[in-house]
Structure 1
Amino acid sequence: MHIAIIGAGISGLMTALELVEQGCSVTIFDQQQAAKAASWAGGGILSPMYPWRYDSAVNALAKHAKPLYQAWNEKLAPQTGIDFQIHETGMLILDEDDFEVGLNYAKQHHEPMQQAEYLQQEQLEQVNPHIHSKYQHGIYFPQIANVRNPRVLQSITTYLKQHPKVQFHEHCPIQKLNIQNNKISSITDDFDQKHFADEYVLATGAWSKHWAEQLNLEIPVAPIQGQMLLFKTPENWLPTMCMNKVMYLIPRNDGHIVCGSSMRNVGFNITPNEAVKHNILDACFDMVPELANFPIVHEWAGLRPSSPNGIPYIGKMPELNNLWANFGHFRNGLCMGAASARLLRQLMLNQTTIEDAKPYSPQHLTQMDFAY
């Protein structure tokens, strides 16, 4: 089977990886360089932030993140020479309003990896001595890890580019889906070149609404900008991830600390905003004041593919026999990415699924209502 995948972010790349490992041939298209959009820009926490604030469909996929990325890293790193750097720091949450629900979440939802401990100030200092002394207590999730998402993407891209069953077309925007007899017969790129495959996958993230008119469907996916900062501290300086009021600090192995993140509805604009930068800095220094002693080495913004309740669309698109979706992951694209791709592969190849596919079905998408 030959599959064309439109979009080379985490959803497209992981889908390609799943399919080639099953013997399929894959052609991947991206409007820019592979792995350089939202998937690169995120933080890489292998859990939704405050999972109790999300729909169960989000958590059903997210719970597979850590074991699946660990397994893929074991397979790919020896061949690519690129380690994902899965960093088992645990997560400290300082929002008092979330303590009770956070402490009960693991037992209530049968998710042992979300097991939390209540820490009073002395224990808090032992777990992370850099937390501001004003914080008298917190809850700690020791099993939550983060992954260095640019390295995940680099490793997967390297593996796929050397794979005999994979072709890449970068800087090759696809403009048109050519439809005949309830099937995609081909796709046409910006250069008026047609490309043919047996099956087609839309993994176009924040750009997925582009297909709405051609498919006569309402596709409620829109770009939401998220802004980030990167500090450089000594190696292993900050021992845990920290979160308060939806702002987070994510330490990497080498001392880099990712700080974020904002949410702004500004279309496809990825220019960092100075006022947002100061909001992020204020929140970070509030948690870890000593961070102000270290340099900011990079700042950037990415575009999240927002969707209703953050639930992605995974599965066959309505009315077409060979068009599939894997988009709309909002804030949890990397976290849900590995399980989303596995679920889609299983659906495409008629295999037993990792989770019930119904909550993600694109069959929920409704036809556009044209006013005459």
Structure 2
Amino acid sequence: MHIAIVGCGINGLLTALELLEHNCTITLFDQQQAGKAASWAGGGILSPMYPWRYPKAVNDLAQYGKALYQQWNAKLQPITGIDFEIHDTGMLIFDQEDFEMGLSYAEQTRQPMQQAKILDQTHLKQINPHISDQFKQALHFPHLSNIRNPRLLKSILIYLKQHPKVQFFENTWIDQFEIQHSQIQSLKAQNGQHFQADHYVIATGSWSAHWSAQLKCSIPVKPIQGQMLLFKTPEQWLPTMCMNRVMYLIPRTDGHVVCGSSMQDLGFEHRPSLKTQQDIYQASIELVPDLEQFPIVKQWAGLRPSSPEGIPYIGQMPNFKNLWANFGHFRNGLCMAPASAVLLRELICEHAHTVDAQAYSPLRHFQANTAE
């Protein structure tokens, strides 16, 4: 079976990996360099931030993220020479209004990785001595981890590009689907080239609404900009991830600390703004005052593919027999991506489902909005 995947963010790339494991041939397209949009720009926390604030459908996919990434890392690292750097730091949350829900969440959902306990200031300082003295308590999630997404993407891309059953077309804008009798017959690129496959997957993230007019449906996905800062500290300097008022610090093993993130509806604007960067910097220093002594080595912005409730669209597109969706993951694309790819592979290959597929079906919104 030959699958064409439009979009080479983490969801498109993991979909390719999953389908390759089941003997499919893959052709991948991206309008720019593969793996350089939102997937590269994110923080890499392998859990939704405040998972109790999200619908069950988001957490049902996210709970498999770490284990599946560990499996892929074990498979790909001997071939690519790149470690995803899954970093078991745990997480400290300082939002007191979330303490009660956070404490009971693991038991309510039967997700052991989300187990938490409240720390007083003495124990808090033992776990992370750099935390500001203003914080007297924290909710500690010892089992949460982060992944270094640029390394993850680089490893997957090296693996796919050397695979004999994969073909890549980067910097290739797919202009339209060639449609006949409710089937996609081929893809047409902006340069006039046509590409044929048995099945076609849309994994175009924030750009997915582009297909609404041609497919005669309203796709409720739009870009939401998020900005980030990167500090460089000594190796292993910050021992835990930290979060307060939706702002987070994520330590990498080599001493880099990722700080974010904002959320602004600015269309497809990629450029960071000075005001937002200053806000992120102040929030970071408020959490960990000692960061002030270290340099900022990078700042950037990415575009998240927002969707209603943050629940992605995974499954068959309405009115088409061989067109599939895997987009709309909003703020949790990286942690949902492995299980999203598994689910889409199960649907395309007609395998048993890991999770309730109906919760992610494009039919839940697109069918009601189908144009005449």
Q: Give the conservation status (yes or no) of the 8 Å contact 1:306–1:329.
A: yes
Distance 2:130 2:41 in 1: 26
1:306-321 equivalences in 2 (<5 Å): 306-321=306-321
- 1:269 alignment counterpart: 269
Distance change >3 Å, CA 119–CA 36, structure 1 → 2? same
- 1:281 alignment counterpart: 281
Q: CA deviation at 1:55?
A: 0.3
Instruction: Calculate percent identity across the aligned residue pairs.
Output: 61
Distance 1:370 1:69 in 2: 39
Distance 1:366 1:342 in 2: 24
Query: So what's the TM-score if we normalise by structure 1?
Result: 0.99
Q: CA deviation at 1:284?
A: 0.6
Q: CA deviation at 1:369?
A: 6.8
- 1:31 alignment counterpart: 31
Q: CA deviation at 1:282?
A: 1.0
Task: Write the deviation string for residues 13-48 of structure 1: whole angstroms up to 9, x where unpaired.
Answer: 000000011110000000000000000000000000
- 2:98 alignment counterpart: 98
Distance 1:367 1:212 in 2: 13
- 2:367 alignment counterpart: 366
Distance change >3 Å, CA 59–CA 322, structure 1 → 2? same
- 1:192 alignment counterpart: 192
- 1:143 alignment counterpart: 143
Q: Give the conservation status (yes or no) of the 8 Å contact 1:216–1:367.
A: no
Distance 2:345 2:292 in 1: 45
Task: Write the deviation string for residues 121-165 of structure 1: whole angstroms up to 9, x where unpaired.
Answer: 000000100000110000100000000001110000100000000
Query: So what's the TM-score if we normalise by structure 2?
Result: 0.99
Q: Give the conservation status (yes or no) of the 8 Å contact 1:3–1:197.
A: yes
- 2:110 alignment counterpart: 110
Where does structure 1 differ by over 6 angstroms across 4 or more consecutive aligned residues? none
Structure 1: gaps of 5 or more residues: none
Distance 1:207 1:343 in 2: 22
1:222-301 equivalences in 2 (<5 Å): 222-301=222-301
Task: Write the deviation string for residues 242-287 of structure 1: whole angstroms up to 9, x where unpaired.
Answer: 0000000000000000000000100001100111011101111110
Distance 2:302 2:44 in 1: 13
What secondary structure does 1:242 align onto? strand
- 1:69 alignment counterpart: 69
1:53-64 equivalences in 2 (<5 Å): 53-64=53-64
Distance 2:195 2:233 in 1: 48
Q: Is residue 4 from structure 1 mapped to residue 4 from structure 2 by the alignment?
A: yes
Distance 1:110 1:341 in 2: 23
Structure 2: gaps of 5 or more residues: none
- 2:163 alignment counterpart: 163
What secondary structure does 1:43 align onto? coil
Distance 1:186 1:370 in 2: 22
Task: Write the deviation string for residues 193-229 of structure 1: whole angstroms up to 9, x where unpaired.
Answer: 1110000000000000000000110100000000000
What secondary structure does 1:133 align onto? coil
Distance change >3 Å, CA 367–CA 216, structure 1 → 2? farther
Q: Give the conservation status (yes or no) of the 8 Å contact 2:217–2:371.
A: no
What secondary structure does 1:105 align onto? helix
Q: CA deviation at 1:117?
A: 1.2
Q: CA deviation at 1:368?
A: 4.5
AA at the equivalent of 1:68: L
AA at the equivalent of 1:105: Y
What secondary structure does 1:337 align onto? helix
How many pairs align? 371
Q: CA deviation at 1:366?
A: 3.1
Distance 2:270 2:144 in 1: 29
Q: Give the conservation status (yes or no) of the 8 Å contact 1:105–1:115.
A: yes
Distance 2:239 2:362 in 1: 41
